[in-house]
């Protein structure tokens, strides 16, 4: 049975989608952008934005009863591939051992003019 996951500790959806869906022991987290849920503000710079995205993912994982250890796949979207190293440095802090499979794409533009968006799949 499909379960909608929602937490106030991550930004509200900015469109017709759920923060996450859990079904059959798999958690699908929608692409997270670097909005601070307490203020609605977006931090400046790729490192600060990536950090906020990872905090938002962590809040959703926690709400659903998962951890970063349960993550099996990430999709990283960057508005500029020149920011890959800086994004990767922050991302690596959250997956210091046994990191998930991942792909990173450079895209023309991301919602709200952010620099990074990350989608996540976790399995129990």
The enclosing domain of 76 has a CATH number of 3.30.1330.40
pLDDT tens across the length of the chain (124 residues): 899 999 999 999 888 999 999 999 999 999 999 999 999 999 999 999 999 999 999 999 999 999 999 999 999 999 999 999 999 999 999 999 999 999 999 999 999 999 999 999 999 9
CB 35 within 8 A of CB 41: yes
| Helices and strands in the chain: count of H runs, count of E runs | 2, 6
Phi-psi region of 45 (alpha: psi -120 to 50; beta: other; left: phi over 0): left
Model pLDDT, residue 98 = 94
Q: What is the pTM of this model?
A: 0.97
Total domain count for the chain? 1
- Domain of residue 57, residue span: 3-123
Six token digits for residue 17: 């989608």
């Amino acid at each position: 049975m499909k379960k909608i996951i929602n937490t106030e500790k991550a930004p509200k959806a900015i469109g017709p989608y759920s923060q996450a869906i859990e079904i059959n022991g798999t958690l699908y987290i929608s692409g997270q952008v670097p909005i601070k849920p307490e203020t609605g503000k977006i931090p400046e710079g790729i490192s600060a934005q990536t950090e906020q995205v990872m905090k938002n993912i962590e809040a959703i994982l926690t709400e659903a009863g998962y951890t970063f250890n349960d993550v099996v796949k990430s999709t990283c979207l960057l508005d500029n591939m020149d920011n890959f190293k800086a994004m990767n440095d922050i991302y690596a802090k959250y997956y210091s051992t046994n990191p998930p499979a991942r792909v990173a794409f450079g895209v023309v533009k991301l919602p709200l003019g952010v620099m990074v968006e990350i989608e996540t799949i976790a399995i129990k």
